[in-house]
């Protein structure tokens, strides 16, 4: 008896292509066929990781730049290049689509991919607005396909190690978190620095804190290009009482990726560009009980510095492996999707605060100038 081909199995859901899991959904057993849309800044990394997976085939790649397409086709000669993303969506052999394009195109590409019945991975942020994020989540549920957004830092060993410290309450009661994510470029002309850099810190804060901020305020400046903030300072308050401050910028003299978490017992410094990425400091203040009726004395405590051993695996590999596993089982990582939506919500809130601050500054500037002249 003639065995069905991969294409026939995929189209008809035959036994050579699928099993059935406990939820009654078909589960892929063969290689997952992926199409990649976007080969700009991050797309090549996604392509590299996917092509190195034993159970994945990247059969089609798409980009509007033909020279870039041909460059990557020379490296991966088995891929079929196209400048039309619909060629990927119309290919019945493709199971999943990875979208690594500018954020303004995320909703259009992801919604069409989901509507075509493709499992879809979207690079961060999931969408430009919460309304779009909700629509994508609803569409994925309707089509019974996996939707996942890139939150690469949540798959990094340092971030997960810090999460374990917080769960064990080794830091005691948290006081505040401060983070700096700055560099000289790469400069973006399509989104604010908040949309470009802050999603990393937003995702880590939500993951660590396991709660959504009650307040957020941002101030910034469009130093290079009018209307596009390239530096921002974001302050947030959480229901637990923890406060957080983020600094993001494209115009800094050197690259800095540093987060400080301060608790009542210990403090943590997470430096993503340091060989020793996580350091736990046994530092703080202790109250010494006085003898007799004197005042309580505040004493500085300085103890050991612990550098935990961390896994060296690449976060993007872990992230895309989870996506492929989800595609095979058709069990979407719901917690990750909820967090991706919350990241979009924080981006919207911070950008809105930036605009309000800019409008308020613009209105107040003439009055200040007039007062100076009058004075």
Domain identity same for 80 and 160? no
Domain identity same for 132 and 169? no
Q: How confident is the model at residue 332 (pLDDT cuts 50, 70, 90)?
A: confident
State which H helix or E strand residue 330 sits in: none
CB 64 within 8 A of CB 81: no
State pLDDT tens for residues 343-365: 999 999 999 999 998 777 666 65
pLDDT at 3 > cutoff 70: no
Domain identity same for 306 and 340? no
Which region holds residue 13: left if phi is over 0, alpha if psi is between -120 and 50, else beta? left
φ, ψ (nearest 5 deg) of residue 244? -135, 145
Per-residue pLDDT, averaged over 97-116, amounts to 98
Cα–Cα distances in Å, from 364 out to 147, 179, 189, 360?
45, 30, 27, 6
Cα–Cα distances in Å, from 197 out to 41, 123, 205, 282?
14, 13, 14, 30
Closest by CA position to 222, among listed 234, 214, 213, 230: 230
Cα–Cα distances in Å, from 50 out to 76, 150, 322?
12, 14, 12
Return d(Cα 59, Cα 93) in angstroms, integer: 9
Question: Does residue 229 fall inside a structural domain?
Answer: yes
Per-residue pLDDT, averaged over 166-194, amounts to 95
By CB atoms closer than 10 A (0-12, 13-18, 19+), residue 80 is: middle
Task: Please give the DSSP secondary-structure letter assigned to residue 14.
Answer: -
User: Which value, to the nearest 10 degrees, does the dihedral of the CA atoms of residues 256, 348, 337, 311 take?
Assistant: 10
- Predicted pLDDT of residue 17: 42
Domain identity same for 16 and 49? yes
- Predicted pLDDT of residue 6: 37
Domain identity same for 172 and 308? yes
CB 197 within 8 A of CB 248: yes
Question: Does residue 78 fall inside a structural domain?
Answer: yes
State pLDDT tens for residues 135-162: 999 999 999 999 999 999 999 999 999 9
Q: For position 187, which CATH number holds?
A: 3.30.360.10
- Predicted pLDDT of residue 330: 87
Q: For position 51, which CATH number holds?
A: 3.40.50.720
Question: Does residue 166 fall inside a structural domain?
Answer: yes
Domain identity same for 226 and 250? yes
Q: Where are the beta strands (DSSP E) in 29-184?
A: 32-37, 56-62, 80-82, 96-99, 119-122, 147-149, 174-184
Closest by CA position to 273, among listed 182, 185, 165: 182
- Predicted pLDDT of residue 95: 97
- Predicted pLDDT of residue 142: 95
CB atoms within 10 A of CB 73: 14
CB atoms within 10 A of CB 139: 18
Report how far Cα 21 is from the mean position of its chain's Cα atoms. 29
Q: Which of 8-22, 136-150, 255-269 has the lowest mean pLDDT?
A: 8-22
Return d(Cα 91, Cα 113) in angstroms, integer: 11
State pLDDT tens for residues 28-63: 557 999 999 999 999 999 999 999 999 999 999 999
CB atoms within 10 A of CB 327: 25
Closest by CA position to 177, among listed 114, 122, 241, 127: 241
Question: Does residue 168 fall inside a structural domain?
Answer: yes
pLDDT at 123 > cutoff 70: yes
User: In the Cβ-directed half-sphere of 3, how many Cα atoms lie within 13 Å?
Assistant: 5
Q: How confident is the model at residue 9 (pLDDT cuts 50, 70, 90)?
A: very low
- Predicted pLDDT of residue 285: 83
Q: How confident is the model at residue 4 (pLDDT cuts 50, 70, 90)?
A: very low
Domain identity same for 126 and 160? no
pLDDT at 279 > cutoff 70: yes
Report how far Cα 341 is from the mean position of its chain's Cα atoms. 11
Under 8 Å CB-to-CB from 6, ≥6 apart: which residues?
Answer: 16, 17, 30, 93
- Predicted pLDDT of residue 267: 97
Domain identity same for 186 and 309? yes
Provide the residue range defining the domain that includes 309.
Answer: 154-319+347-358
CB 116 within 8 A of CB 90: yes
- Predicted pLDDT of residue 365: 56
Question: Does residue 369 fall inside a structural domain?
Answer: no
Question: Does residue 366 fall inside a structural domain?
Answer: no
Domain count, the chain: 2
Return d(Cα 212, Cα 293) in angstroms, integer: 43
Question: Does residue 374 fall inside a structural domain?
Answer: no
Whole-number mean pLDDT of the chain? Answer: 89
Q: What is the chain's alpha carbon radius of gyration, rounded to the nearest angstrom?
A: 24
Return d(Cα 21, Cα 32) in angstroms, integer: 17
pLDDT at 375 > cutoff 60: no
Token pair belonging to 251: 């115009």
User: Which value, to the nearest 10 degrees, does the dihedral of the CA atoms of residues 251, 254, 255, 256 take?
Assistant: -100
Question: Does residue 370 fall inside a structural domain?
Answer: no
By CB atoms closer than 10 A (0-12, 13-18, 19+), residue 6 is: middle
Return d(Cα 41, Cα 185) in angstroms, integer: 13
Domain identity same for 139 and 93? yes
Domain identity same for 229 and 274? yes
Domain identity same for 26 and 12? yes
Closest by CA position to 56, among listed 316, 313, 321, 314: 321
Domain identity same for 354 and 213? yes
């Amino acid at each position: 008896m003639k065995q069905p081909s991969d294409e026939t199995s995929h189209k008809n859901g035959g036994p050579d292509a699928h099993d059935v899991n406990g939820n009654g959904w078909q589960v892929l057993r063969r290689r997952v066929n992926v199409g990649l849309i976007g080969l700009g800044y991050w797309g090549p990394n996604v392509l590299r990781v996917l092509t190195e997976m034993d159970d994945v085939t990247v059969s089609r790649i798409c980009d509007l730049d033909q020279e870039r397409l041909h460059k990557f086709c020379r490296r991966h000669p088995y891929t079929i290049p196209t400048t039309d993303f619909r060629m990927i969506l119309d290919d019945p052999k493709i199971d999943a689509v990875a979208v690594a394009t500018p954020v303004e195109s995320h909703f259009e590409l992801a919604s069409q991919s989901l509507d075509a019945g493709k499992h879809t991975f979207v690079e961060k942020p999931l969408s430009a607005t919460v309304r779009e994020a909700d629509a994508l989540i609803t569409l994925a549920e309707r089509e019974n396909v996996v939707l996942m957004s890139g939150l690469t830092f949540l798959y990094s060993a340092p971030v997960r190690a810090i999460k374990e410290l917080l769960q064990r309450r080794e830091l005691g009661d948290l006081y505040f978190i401060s983070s700096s994510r700055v560099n000289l470029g790469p400069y973006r002309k399509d989104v604010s620095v908040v949309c470009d850099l802050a999603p990393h810190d937003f995702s880590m804060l939500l993951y660590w804190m396991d709660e959504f901020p009650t307040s957020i305020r941002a101030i910034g400046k469009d130093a290079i290009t009018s209307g596009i903030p390239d530096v921002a300072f974001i302050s947030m308050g959480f229901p637990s009482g923890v406060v957080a401050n983020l600094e993001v910028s494209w115009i800094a003299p050197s690259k800095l990726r540093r987060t400080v978490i301060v608790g009542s017992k210990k403090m943590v410094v997470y430096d993503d560009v340091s060989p020793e990425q996580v350091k736990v400091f046994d530092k703080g203040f202790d109250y010494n009980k006085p003898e007799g009726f004197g005042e309580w004395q505040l004493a500085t405590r300085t103890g050991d510095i612990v550098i935990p051993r961390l896994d060296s695996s690449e976060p993007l590999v872990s992230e895309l492996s989870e996506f492929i596993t989800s595609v095979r089982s058709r069990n979407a990582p719901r917690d990750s999707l909820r967090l991706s939506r919350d990241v979009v919500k924080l981006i919207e809130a911070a950008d809105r605060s930036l605009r309000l601050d800019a409008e308020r500054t613009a209105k107040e500037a003439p009055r200040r100038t007039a007062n100076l002249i009058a004075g």
